[in-house]
Structures are given as structure tokens and as C-alpha cells.
Amino acid sequence: MLVSFDQVSLHYGQSRPALVDISFTMPDGGFYFLTGPSGAGKSSLLRLIYGAARPTAGSVYMFGRDTAGLDREEIAAMRRQIGVIFQDFRLIPYLSALENAALPLRLLGTREDYILKHTAELLEWVGLGDKLHAFPPQLSGGEQQRVAIARAVVNKPKLLLADEPTGNIDDKTSVKLLHLIMELNKSGTAVILATHQRNLVNSFNKPELRLEHGYLAPPEMRAA
């Protein structure tokens, strides 16, 4: 299995637990919407998968390995198989939209002619064909979000984690980008997409993981 949580809990200091006894399994090429109100634990769950946090209790398995046994280099190697769309974009301000989106391919040592052609085509698809050489401070929040999405999917990762990827763009563009992510999923990339937008969840026939106060709701409650 690609991702597996076995009775995972996560505490930050002495505060209320962020996650409590979470168990689920995701197969290769799977797709889950991750839903729940603000503060339910969605970002914490994604941080555990990405290796940015370690569970307080229980086990997180990624690509068949318990993440508790991975050293720093192994965590870095795992992350190279994961694309992440962050809420705060995390674009490099002195790199152009094209250069930001191309970073994963450059880190993999991909041929430069392929990088330029593929990245430009992807940015064109997300509506930024005329902003290839613009820098993040010159882009709107929605445009920066689209650059971040292009960067996350440019190398066709085994797993895509998307934390509210449509939070700064209009409904029409949101649906278009969801179709792009669905096409990526059809080609074999597994997806966990956190969102509070019920219209998007209801528009696509995909299973749902719903968090409530750090707990995973039973299946019959997840469409509530």
C-alpha cells in the first residue's frame, strides 16, 4: 500500500491532540478528498504523510516503510516521490513562474529542452502562458497558486498532496484544475486533496476522509 496509518495520534506540546487514533490505508493510484472544518487536523495529517512531523503514537507507512525508521536522507528520497501543493505557495521570489514550476525537474537532472517545453505547456494549461517570466511578487494570489500547482505536478509524482489547492482561485478555474489533477490520477499518481469546498467534493465521485476534532469520521458520516 502507498500510504497506511495505524492508530496514529499527533500532539503538539500540551495542547489538544491534533489527531487521535487515525487508521486508513490508501492503495497505489488511489484518490481521497480530505475534508473537515478549520482546525480539524487536515494539515497535520498531510504533514505526517510528507514527513514534516512524526506521530506521537501509532505508525505511518509510506511506500511500504515505517517512517519512524527513516533517516534524514531517506526522508528526502521519499519526498522526491511526492508533489505538495502548500496553502502558502512557497514560491521562490527571485525565480520566474517558469523557473519555480521547473524546480522538481531540475533537481532530478532532467534534460533542459524537455524542462522548458513541458513546463511552459503546463503553465499554459493552467492559464499562465503569458506570465512565464513573471516573478511571484508580480502575480496575484490566484496566479501564484497556479504556479504552485504546476510545480507540484510537473514531474508526475507517485503521490500528490494538495492542501486547499483551490482556495485562492475562482470556481471555474477550480474545476479546471481539479480535472488536471484527476487526469494525473488516471495516469497513476495517487492524490490526497484537502478542501473545505463541498461543491468540488460533490462534483467528483471519489472517496472521502472526513476529520472532526482530530478524529476520522465513520464512512456513513463523511458526506454530511
* Domain-wise residue ranges, the chain: 3-218
Q: How far is CA 74 from CA 42, 65, 98, in A?
A: 24, 10, 29
- Residues 76-105 as b/e (b if ≥16 CB within 10 A, e otherwise) read eebbeebbbbbbebebeeeebbbbbbbbbb
Its sign, for the CA torsion 112, 148, 176, 184, is positive
Q: What confidence score (pLDDT) does residue 16 get?
A: 80
DSSP 78-130: HHTTEEEE-TT----TTS-HHHHHHHHHHHTT--HHHHHHHHHHHHHHTT-TT
Q: How do strand 159-163 and strand 82-85 relate by DSSP bridges?
A: parallel
- Give the pLDDT confidence of 77-116 residue by residue, as tens digits: 899 899 998 878 899 999 999 999 999 999 888 999 999 9
Q: pTM score, two decimals? A: 0.86
In 3D space, the residue among 219, 214, 216, 222 whose CA is nearest the CA of residue 40 turns out to be 214
> pLDDT over 70 for what percent of the chain?
96
Residue 15 region, left (φ>0) first, then alpha (ψ -120 to 50), else beta?
beta
Question: Is pLDDT above 60 for 224?
Answer: no
Q: Classify domain 3-218 by CATH number.
A: 3.40.50.300
Q: How do strand 57-62 and strand 3-10 relate by DSSP bridges?
A: antiparallel
Dist. CA 207–CA 124, nearest whole Å: 30
